Structure 1
């Protein structure tokens, strides 16, 4: 490997796609599951330049012949470049996180900041916050200890105004994990999570539920990669343009878009057309359930009842929604199960396909027993659809118009002018 990324687990990483956008070198991912593996790799020095991720950002410093003063002060290195047989260590996470905060107008000056996690990225984030004039930066870990809060203690920190998660909690494939209860933090102004897969961790979703601005670490990943790429090649780039364009384009490609709405409103037809328009794979959640249950949905309802079907549905969604880059058409009642909407929202926008009850298709749908039943169902479900949706797509005209509207709503998600 000449250029690439090392870390214990790399199944979540998008670094290869980002560095391929930078161009000029082939970038590989090399998982090193144990410390012994990492040490053997670093001792061999069989690379030109690498990025380093969890949990080796401190360990790698032992192998650097020269460490940039800023990285040394932070106590973590995430970029190593070999020149004339010597290893030079840098920390581009600092610039990446500072870019993320600046991009979203996060001002640390005079603020109390909780930093979740105690690894190398915690040290980097702490340095950015302190350099920006934070009033207090309080590290948080599972065990706590000298100068460190436990998560229970952090949940009672009434002065906390900004939270930054630097731990792997909630990261793919362990999506849904969140160690901090933020409900008791009255002064909370913003939440940032350096995790970028999924795009919305449970921590970020909890913040959004409270109307608190919440931002994932994808832009930080792209920004630090831009700074690392300059160190790799020794060539300056227009980093601002690269970060903005690459963040938008890659997030667009990697994001899901999920369709919800009443049974028979056209989610499947619109979804198939949208998948073609966006060049994304299409997943019909009901078809996925039938394949894995080994029977048609009407038979599931007849033999096991609606409650059993909802369990099948939630299990299917938990599996499907972890992956990115898909168009997912959901069953009409997907919003009935607590937690399903959160799974849909973690990796992309949710679109509500609307069609008047009079025009809803009814064949083969166990709960669509008549127009009056559908009207009652619509009245019951409309608040849930509205709460779940990022946008509404009208499906009362042509299929082409509906697909175009869905595509426009999806693309607006990545509009950097907003």
Structure 2
């Protein structure tokens, strides 16, 4: 008898959280099934050797002809992301619709009488457009790289100053190619909200820029969890308590996967607090300075002495860009990491940034190339304080015991509204 097979098919799945999500929803084993080519996807679908699957980029339209029956909603959208095998017959559904609806509602985004700009023309575009249309959007614009089929070029879309909601349905900014962005939200003076279906990282460059504009910004993680819960109902044939499951699982997994980054003056205790915090939260501890030394093969005082601060800052940015892509880490950064705005953005993409604060008189200075104490230290603090303020999501006082500092850090992490 064939073993039940549940899983996800797609071109590249190294970034996927679907396995850990589904295995918290129900008691089946869920596998990631990468199919890099259409030939492999064709063989997989023809064999029908699965119980139920989810479908992601680039196969949401490709799988439709293999389905014996397609749910009317999925047929109207033209994209299938959930397929159930019942006695050899394949039934196709689209749970992305309900998932995206959940995301918008959870963040108070109302499409009624709004001008919406959708980035991308793939299968997810069709789903998002259907939600916007059903939500009463006044006008739905589409932008793409090519401008084919009536879409605007991204450069043309930037001139539509009446846009109120932007939705990214492309893989732009998705792990591992983080930091990429198709348009600048600052170009849209009437902008109210930006939604991004990308879920890894939690906050793409597009969302970080939207936050800088002070508008509602939400990533695709909640949508991913919601569509998985709705898919699990099809997988199991059971009605689930979606109103409870979706926020509970979303919050639990975001806390599990999130990074916590520590910034602050040299000698303020970031590494000591960070190591203890990582142990408390069951996350991996990364001392960024130690990681720079490991990767370059040189200790930091020698880098400063032989190559200068500019070279060190370049190494720091390169190492941090890679480290910050990861998950479930506590990252203790060097005191000057905030001198490069790109570093602060990298830290913010996957979790909160805590500014560790300690009186100047208690800062350790031994062995620190730029931290010699006295007037120079006071000047450094004055110069960096605005940078710490801009980069941090919360402040962490470290002026008592280590236990008290870690307790407070945990409290700040648990209370972070982005998680």
The answer to whether the aligner puts 1:150 opposite 2:150 as a matched pair is: no
* SS class of match (2:141): strand
* SS class of match (2:185): coil
Does the CA contact (< 8 Å) of 2:179 and 2:204 recur in 1? yes
- Measured in 2, the distance between the counterparts of 1:273 and 1:265 equals 15
Does the CA contact (< 8 Å) of 1:82 and 1:88 recur in 2? yes
After TM superposition, the runs of 4+ consecutive aligned structure 1 residues lying more than 2 A away are: none
- Measured in 1, the distance between the counterparts of 2:37 and 2:78 equals 21
1:57-79 alpha-carbon deviations (Å, 9 max, x no partner): 00100100000000000000000
Q: 1:295 maps to which residue? A: 298
Q: 2:94 maps to which residue? A: 91
Aligned match of 2:170 in 143, 152, 167? 167
Question: 1:140 offset after TM fit, Å?
Answer: 1.0
* SS class of match (2:152): coil
Q: 1:276 maps to which residue? A: 279
Q: 1:61 maps to which residue? A: 64
Question: 1:415 offset after TM fit, Å?
Answer: 8.3
Question: 1:52 offset after TM fit, Å?
Answer: 0.1
- Measured in 2, the distance between the counterparts of 1:248 and 1:400 equals 25
Question: 1:255 offset after TM fit, Å?
Answer: 0.4
The alignment covers a number of residue pairs equal to 416
Aligned match of 1:117 in 117, 120, 123? 120
1:69-96 alpha-carbon deviations (Å, 9 max, x no partner): 0000000000000111100000000000
Aligned match of 2:42 in 27, 39, 44? 39
- Measured in 2, the distance between the counterparts of 1:97 and 1:413 equals 23
Question: 1:340 offset after TM fit, Å?
Answer: 0.5
Structure 2, gaps ≥5 residues long = none
Question: 1:139 offset after TM fit, Å?
Answer: 1.2
| TM-score w.r.t. length of structure 2 | 0.98
- Measured in 1, the distance between the counterparts of 2:225 and 2:255 equals 14
- Measured in 1, the distance between the counterparts of 2:260 and 2:341 equals 19
Does the CA contact (< 8 Å) of 2:351 and 2:418 recur in 1? no
Q: 1:202 maps to which residue? A: 205
- Pairing 1:216-231 to 2, within 5 Å after superposition: 216-231=219-234
Q: 1:326 maps to which residue? A: 329
Aligned match of 1:211 in 210, 214, 228? 214
Does the CA contact (< 8 Å) of 2:114 and 2:139 recur in 1? yes
* SS class of match (1:5): strand
* SS class of match (1:352): strand
Aligned match of 1:103 in 103, 106, 109? 106
Structure 1, gaps ≥5 residues long = none
Does the CA contact (< 8 Å) of 2:83 and 2:92 recur in 1? yes
Q: 1:309 maps to which residue? A: 312
The answer to whether the aligner puts 1:400 opposite 2:403 as a matched pair is: yes
Does the CA contact (< 8 Å) of 2:185 and 2:213 recur in 1? no
